[in-house]
Chain A
Amino acid sequence: MKHRVKFEVNGEAAEIEAEPRETLLDVVRERFGLTGAHAGCEHGACGACTVLVDGAAVRSCLLFAVQCEGRSVQTIEAFGTPAALHPMQEAFRTHHALQCGFCTPAMVLTAIDMLAHSPNATETEIRAALAGNLCRCTGYAGIVDAVCSLAGREPVDS
């Protein structure tokens, strides 16, 4: 049986009908065209599908869309524009923190959530926070540098 779900996607009210087994990842990609949320493993292992729900980073492949009634969902598309990058995106650019880009939206969102709670995070804490997001290209050094460059400053505003 399909369920009606009312929620907010990137700041706009949305209403959909979803089968219970449709994940939030399926829905943001296929219904909303928000393909910045990437489908990697689709069972919780890689982190590529990370989005923010009520401001907190979650794996969108492990949350069913029907569970998002009344929630506010943000994907990477809500952050920055090509002309005016979000500070975290700018830091990734500066520090060569991406190659193919598959892991990047999730890395950026995970880092934004982390610095919102621990603005003075140490490198060790940053590495631990990013450990659940796999990157096959960069070797992580640039990613860690990018996030470290923003730690210890004013909290990154979303």
Chain B
Amino acid sequence: MKPAPFEYVRATQLGDALAALASDDDAKVIAGGQSLVPLMALRLARPALLVDVNDLPLDTVEVANNEVRLGSLVRHVRLERDAVVVRAAPLLAEAAALIGYPAIRNRGTLGGSVAHADPAAELPAALVALDGVVLAEGREGTRRISARDFFEGFLTTVLAPDELVVGVQVPVAAERHGASFREWAPRAGDFAVAGVAVVIELDAGGVCVSLGAAACGVGSTPVDLHEVLTDAGVLGASDVGDSLLRSTAQAAARTARGDDDREQLVGLLTAAALHDAFARARGGDASGTGVAA
């Protein structure tokens, strides 16, 4: 038993969870506990009150109006295996499969990963690449926050201390959608040194008409690579030949300039993810979970 003493409440209704959170300045939400409990064991976190949200009805996957809405308690293992997620948000399924180990994915939650905002985490970067929305609930109501604005710094978000992440929303993968998450870690399952998510959509003629990309492990928040890839000429391209891959890789690498470990890595991962994304959008490559129909 390593954590310092704390009080515990299990909330079964959203209102109760919000009231409990507001009742104590040192209250903290516990979801999967896979980031919070290690910090408590090391006494880097000493919450006075833990508000357990695991019984709230937020383990939900819904598709409506061309959006996939995922409740914050969807565990990584569900993102990885759920047929609806694999089809409608393949990037999230692929990103979740890269998190830690099976025992971590069996507990860790989407909302926990987003709220924790570890700059090396996969799901925040995937959400930025997908131009997703974080749904936050406070006592004043719901806020819809663009993932691009949600992450402020190392382990810091725009969430108020008494707000809960209740879910996230991303666009449903279109017909010629291709997504890929590439990362490098010294050992399978470890936090990645860096990772890159790329998602594209091709039109009927095979031209890239929409694109998103983001890196994790670089900087203090997910790094949005949308502009970098757009400027490199990916938008409007109908093929990713060597020269486009090379120039895109160089442009992406510049976002990690000065970081010797990561500069080349980000370039290589971007090229690899972009290559996968095109292949999957064309339906040519069935490897990984990020298969496009």
Contact = CB atoms under 8 A, between A and B. Distances in A.
B37 interface: yes
B106 interface: yes
Contact of A69 (B3, B10, B33, B77): B10
Interface in B92-113: 100-104, 106-107
Given A19-B5, A63-B37, A132-B100, 11 more contacts: A3-B8, A47-B101, A47-B103, A56-B106, A62-B37, A62-B107, A63-B107, A110-B102, A114-B102, A127-B188, A131-B189
A120 B206 CA distance: 36
Contacts of B107: 58-59, 62-63
A59 B26 CA distance: 26
B38 interface: yes
Given A20-B8, A22-B1, A129 B101 contact: yes
Given A67-B54, A128-B188, A56 B101 contact: no
B154 interface: no
Interface of A: 1, 3, 19-23, 26, 42-45, 47, 50, 56-59, 61-64, 66-67, 69, 110, 113-114, 117, 127-129, 131-133
B42 interface: yes
Nearest to A130: B101
A51 to B, nearest CB: 9
B106 A131 contact: no
A93 to B, nearest CB: 23
Interface of B: 1-8, 10, 30, 33-34, 37-38, 40-42, 50, 52, 54, 77, 81, 100-104, 106-107, 187-189
Contacts of B5: 19-21
A89 to B, nearest CB: 19
Q: Which of B8, B34, B100, B188 has the most CB of A within 10 A?
A: B8
Contacts of A22: 1
Contact of B6 (A20, A56, A69, A127): A20
21 contacts: A3-B8, A20-B8, A20-B50, A21-B1, A23-B37, A43-B42, A44-B37, A56-B106, A57-B102, A58-B107, A59-B104, A66-B8, A67-B52, A114-B102, A117-B81, A128-B188, A129-B102, A131-B189, A132-B100, A132-B101, A132-B104
Q: Which of A3, A59, A69, A133 has the most CB of B within 10 A?
A: A59
Contacts of B34: 44, 59, 62
Contacts of B4: 21
A62 B33 contact: yes
A43 B188 contact: no
B6 A43 contact: no
B208 to A, nearest CB: 32
Contacts of A113: 102, 106
Nearest to A21: B3
